[in-house]
Structure 1
């Protein structure tokens, strides 16, 4: 069983990585067809609205509420399979009914909501935004059903089909952009049809696997659905989660509305920048956070808090070792990365400038966002979901206030900086709550970590300085080549030199994190031989 779970974990990590890469290609496709135009902003806002409700109702509700309740039913499955079927039918009916009602209301009300996201000078784009939102709103219904199927499969330790569905979604949107754009009014509509097709495929792809496990969800009466004891437990568990998620989503809506009113291309440039940041976070921070949670939970249960503190400290050091050097490197070479990934005829020099303006401020918060995803599991391991939620709400409040203050003087850069400063505030709140728990020596942990982070910042600065001075000459040597080679080759050379300089500096100071990584790699090499 342990081997199969590890195998599933490896497959899921690979599929997540593949999905992130395809998500970036999807954003590159959007950049190629729409750039940072009013139409790109309209598509971004139109997709955000149904996606907001998906995050609010489907994403966390399934993992936090549905799976624990369903698992409790499965323990009694041999005694009462009928009760399991009745529960599944009730949840399926509830999910379908609530998302269908929300979809219909969204389609009716969108003409009154859309103007809130658009500057007066861009009012002519509102009819197109309304059309795009109406096309994509049913995505909420199909993706919620897909999330429900995912919850069923994950409850019986089947992870691969659900892990593969985001890959299919991205392929559907990318394919629609290329196949439909020449045949319909504009590329935004082509991608919108791709979104609804992709969501439908996500649900349909998982259905055979659900049926194979012996589950056949069907509709039941609304009275039975709301009256089922299991759905009552699910709804009770969802409540606190929705409050925390609502704060996050309100923050997202306000930031997007401010960006939309700041000028043309601001919304889309922020989305292009965030996609690059999320790719980096997805590869490193999420993986480390996911891996340490079960071990932390085991140590907390056994009350082995010295080992708990040691593991948390090690994870924090690894995150610092990854994100601080990357932040310095991307601050210098961010423009070249954006040109490499996004630059096309539609994605002009102005588009590069707008995206870079956001990206440099997003990168400033990369370290804190990654750190938050490591500290939060320390609370979950101790069955404390309240503290991270309160810290998150505090961070989102800081974000909204700073976004309102910074948007006018700094445009998109102001919204990106507000997010980074809010992530820093969130980190402070988490450490304050961690100190109150009195299970670990937070002061000692923080002092050690600040010293290590400052050392890494100094080494990163030393390593990046010569590259900064020779950057223009390096890229000029390859400027006659195609964009991918002209930017890709010197970026690779710069990253290699930066990495070697950084590792050399760490080796000179006998860095403990570097030594532990080298030992781990050597041990794995010996085991393979």
Structure 2
């Protein structure tokens, strides 16, 4: 039997509840392996935090040059279109289809078949993204009409940025290879370079291209190239050599057939999630000037948090869960998922509560300058508050979805995504024109909560050993963190207001907004940490111990 067939049979058995109940659960991960996973996620979180901070500077650059005016809306719409296809066909496909399939080849240890699969992947990817880029450039004037933005400028920006799809797709393939080998740092460095390009290019060539939006579009393309190039040396160091092959053979490769089988339902589900963003943007661009831009600024803030915590955890989690499935280690599968969920709740619940308490202060500090006026602050802060109500649910989605992908189950997340898309569309239709940005933000948060609920229900129905217990523990821990955060935020609010009364007249926003926010943050963190110490929180202790082991190891 061919190695790929072994993988498929293993995946089929993995998805069967009866197998989960009857198969003995060998211990796959020791405490050291668990600590290694925490450290890997931690290192990736540091790189992602740097990237997201640069992402905020990127948005501050955009706010400085464009504010929430016509050019800002034009850039927002034009970037969403190629970015939508990137998430759908590049990163999404890599996450749900390429990594589990490639891991199967690695376990089979057949170098020739592995090389052929990688060559087939490169060939198919090249053909698909080339066709998509050409089609996108040709149809740009008709595509942008759907969004009600300034048609000529938006079409031009869309055409400039569509090659970004091809560049970032190759970067995603390289990331999938590295992540399958549990190498995460180059992938964490890639978005840092992207953001640097986005920030620097407008300052260098902004005055030469007619308007800053065009300079930003060029920066996006250069950043996409940097994302691919920075990961290539790490792939070459693995000793992996592959290239282009006959297209007919590439499409008929057994591994590619497996990838297509996994992608087919997934594209539908991921399309539903991404279309949520497109529908929201389309209605926002018609709800009033600046609404679309304010939603995007708010989402960038939310993605900063998700990128630091949830995306990093999900990236490290998927290869681990795929290994557990292949070994039929169901107890380990459940405990790994449960530990990661509780660790993420420890971080995201307090951040969500804190940011909902200080939305205007945060937005003012980060964005208010140049064309980003008090009106822009109010628009963005109101959207940010309602986006943050869904932060924890979106973070949990980033962990629970890989739990299905590791079992080669792409249908369940697909149907959950379609259902949440339907709810989002109905709510946007009902709320967009009456409540503008806040209504659209609430629609996304509510649909994300529904998505999480459906995925949790599906996990429970799967009867996987230990999963009910882990989910119940996660729910109790979420409630506990919510209570701790509510207690900590009360003194933080009092301190913030007291400090603001003394510095409100300062001309610099770094003082008038930054000093009160920092004071409130210190108080919130101090009270929260004290509560964790007093209650001897085991999740916080395990994270601390994992990083202290790493420090001791370096000391030796």
Same fold (TM over 0.5): yes
> Is 1:431–1:442's contact at 8 Å kept on the other side of the alignment?
no
Give the structure-1-normalised TM-score: 0.85
376-385 or 353-362, which deviates more: 376-385
Structure-2 change in CA distance of 1:12 and 1:523 (3 Å):
closer
Spell out, residue by residue over 1:380-411, the C-alpha distance to the aligned partner (whole angstroms, 9 max, x if none): 56554433333233222222221221111110
2:549 and 2:121 mapped to 1: Cα distance? 48
CA contact (8 A) 1:313 1:445 kept: yes
**CA apart distance, 1:334:** 1.4
Aligned to 2:265: 240
Q: 1:494 aligns with which of 500, 513, 520?
A: 520
Q: Secondary structure at the match of 1:36?
A: coil
Deviates more, 1:426-435 or 1:331-340: 426-435
Match for residue 463 of structure 2 among 438, 442, 451 = 438
Pick the aligned partner of 1:273 from 298, 315, 319: 298
Distance 1:341 1:158, change over 3 A: same
* Bigger Cα displacement from structure 2, 437-446 vs 156-165: 437-446
Match of 1:485 among 485, 508, 511: 511
Structure 1 residues 86 and 332: alpha-carbon distance in aligned structure 2, compared to 1, 3 A threshold: closer
SS in 2 for 1:133: helix
**Structure 1 residue 191 corresponds to structure 2 residue 213:** no
Instruction: Report the Cα offset of residue 440 of structure 1.
Output: 5.4
Q: Does 1:398 align with 2:423?
A: yes
1:65 is the counterpart of 2:97: yes
Superposed CA RMSD in Å reads 3.6
Does 1 or 2 have the higher relative contact order (CA < 8 Å, sep 6+)? Answer: 2
Aligned with 1:19: secondary structure? helix
Deviations 1:26-52 (A, max 9, x none): 111111111111211110110111111
State how 1:324-473 maps to structure 2 within 5 Å.
324-380=349-405, 384-439=409-464, 452-469=477-494, 471-473=496-498
Can you give the 5+ residue segments of structure 2 that lack an aligned partner in the other structure?
A: 1-31
Deviates most, 454-463 or 39-48: 454-463
Residues 68 and 283 of structure 1: CA distance in aligned 2, closer, same or farther (over 3 Å)? closer
Q: Deviations over 1:263-298 (max 9, x none)?
A: 211111111111111111222233444556666667
Per mean C-alpha deviation after superposition, the further-off stretch among 372-381 and 240-249 is 372-381
Distance 1:324 1:238, change over 3 A: closer
Q: Please tell me whether residue 56 in structure 1 is matched to residue 88 in structure 2.
A: yes
Per-residue CA deviation, residues 103-157 of structure 1 (Å, 9 max, x unaligned), is 1221121211212111xxxx6x211001100111111122223333444455556
Question: Are 1:23 and 2:48 an aligned pair?
Answer: no
Partner of 2:79 in structure 1?
Answer: 47
Residue matched to 2:11:
none
The farther-off stretch of 130-139 and 105-114 is: 105-114
1:116 aligns with 146
CA deviation after TM superposition for structure 1 residue 311, in Å: 5.8
Q: What residue in structure 1 maps to residue 20 of structure 2?
A: none
